[in-house]
Amino acid sequence: MATEVTVPTLGESITEATLGQWLKKPGEAVKADEPIASLETDKVAVDVPSPVDGVMGEQAVAEGDTVLVGALIALIQEGSASTSATPAAENKTAVAQAEKAAPPEPGAAPATSGGNNDALSPSARRAVQETGIDPSTVDGSGRDGRVTKMDVQAAAANPAPSVSAPAPAAAAPASTANGRKEERVRMTRLRQTVARRLKEAQNTAAMLTTFNDVDMTNVMAARAKYKDLFEKKHDVRLGFMGFFVKAAVQALRDVPSVNASIEGDEIVYRDYVDVSVAVSAPNGLVVPVIRDAQHLSVAGIEKTIGDFGKRAKDGSLKMDEMKGGTFTISNGGVFGSLMSTPIINPPQSAVLGLHRIDQRPVVLDGQIVARPMMYLALSYDHRLIDGREAVTFLVAIKNAIEDPTRLLIDL
């Protein structure tokens, strides 16, 4: 007996995903709640757990395929890997039952056992192309003996001893006339979404960027003085993001339009600050949200950011943690960026870009001295935020960072 594994509910308004990677192969033992596949959505990667103990059976879709919520993607067979390595025919019977319970694919024509390519469904033809299996050598388990995608995959996974199945064609890089090579890799769903949203921001917002620089001397001194005590008490390292988020919260309170957004012909002002922080993940940039940052201490902010960073790397961020956000801070300085013009994260109206800290000559009291300086960049939607407000906001950030006491006495 086989247990079906289907695509779980992925969150509000998300109806499909891409199967990014199979974590278990057919014939491998699995335990209940153990991840067997990874799905890529528009925002994060989601693991699909096995509903029962058993053996990984047939895989209904291939890596890179688009799947809908509720769709069958695999079967889990009863038993253990050592005692019940399920024969291909038994697996195909279970899959056929699942297929018969669902409507046939549009345009799919019935095929006889050992059918030809013309009689195969689109998904089965694709499986034939990917695996190199000759469909005439496959016993069909679909309606009227039709060869299904699962039949082809089963034949590829369990080739008959007397038949030498053609090996799948290797995806070799294309060669040019000069012997140079190119490789084409399909964009992940996350990267496609990032590309689409960034282009939408450029097309919709009247985007402009203003710059300032900030002397990091006092913040660096405070961090050096208290970092060990801070880590000992709060079990998290003291970074610069805690200071910048606190400074941004105060500046957003003074310049509320930077924390607002345009909805239709209305401007939405907010009395709360949900700060989106851009962090690096294996599949691209993700932007989890620090909720109600106006109520958090520097320690609370650092703990939240640290947790986001760890879970972004292992792909365990949740959908709800990626939604919302009223203002974004992007720290390109950790990668060595000197200056940039960050792009707004719609429907937000502004984004603050932080950059690397360099020793640069500045004039203080008539003397040229070297100071640790950082460029700040604020990209904003000029439809809502005027230049005066953008400059006022950046100056408020600059003042708070150059004199961190302001953060304590609420100036």
Establish if 362 belongs to a structural domain. Answer: yes
Residues 95 and 208 in one domain: no
Query: 266, exposed or middle or buried, with CB in 10 Å at 0-12, 13-18, 19+?
Result: exposed
220 within 8 A of 356, measured Cβ to Cβ: no
Residues 293 and 362 in one domain: yes
Establish if 175 belongs to a structural domain. Answer: no
* Final residue of a structural domain among 137, 157, 177: 157
End-to-end Cα separation, the chain, in angstroms: 68
Q: How many domains does the chain have?
A: 2
What are the start-end ranges of the E strands in 149-288?
174-175, 181-182, 207-215, 261-263, 266-268, 275-277, 279-281, 284-286
173 prior amide bond cis, ω within 30: no
**Residue 62: which domain range?**
2-157
Domain harbouring 11, CATH code: 2.40.50.100
CA separation for the pair 329, 274 (Å, rounded): 11
Establish if 83 belongs to a structural domain. Answer: yes
Establish if 146 belongs to a structural domain. Answer: yes
Establish if 182 belongs to a structural domain. Answer: no
Active-site residue identified among 358, 386, 403, 410: 386
The one-digit pLDDT tens for each residue of the chain (411 residues) are 788 888 887 765 577 788 878 888 888 888 888 888 888 776 667 788 888 888 988 888 888 888 888 888 888 888 766 544 444 444 444 444 544 444 444 444 343 344 445 456 555 666 676 677 777 777 776 655 667 766 776 777 665 544 444 444 445 566 666 778 888 887 777 677 778 877 888 888 899 999 999 999 999 999 999 999 999 999 999 999 999 999 999 999 999 999 999 999 999 999 999 999 988 776 667 789 999 999 999 999 999 998 988 888 877 788 788 888 999 999 988 889 999 999 998 889 999 999 999 999 999 999 999 999 999 999 999 999 999 999 999 999 999 999 998 888 777
CA separation for the pair 46, 40 (Å, rounded): 6
Residues 202 and 141 in one domain: no
> Does the global pTM surpass 0.85?
no
Residues 72 and 209 in one domain: no
Establish if 171 belongs to a structural domain. Answer: no
What are the distances in angstroms from CA 68 to CA 16, 40, 250, 298? 4, 12, 44, 42
* Final residue of a structural domain among 157, 178, 202: 157
Establish if 341 belongs to a structural domain. Answer: yes
Residues 146 and 202 in one domain: no
Can you say whether the dihedral through the CA atoms of 300, 304, 307, 313 is positive or negative?
Answer: negative
Residues 72 and 219 in one domain: no
Residues 151 and 197 in one domain: no
Residues 249 and 148 in one domain: no
Q: Indicate if 382 belongs to the active site.
A: yes
Residues 232 and 133 in one domain: no
Active-site residue identified among 292, 314, 382, 403: 382
Establish if 377 belongs to a structural domain. Answer: yes
Residues 114 and 213 in one domain: no
Residues 44 and 118 in one domain: yes
Task: Name which of 137, 30, 28, 108 is nearest 99 in CA terms.
Answer: 108
Residues 382 and 280 in one domain: yes
Task: Write out the H or E segment, with its range, that includes residue 134.
Answer: none
Task: Name which of 343, 308, 330 is nearest 44 in CA terms.
Answer: 308
HSE, CB side, 13 Å, CA atoms: give it for residue 133: 29
- The residues, ordered by sequence, that sit 6+ positions from 186 with a Cβ below 8 Å of its Cβ are 64
Q: Indicate if 118 belongs to the active site.
A: no
Domain harbouring 245, CATH code: 3.30.559.10
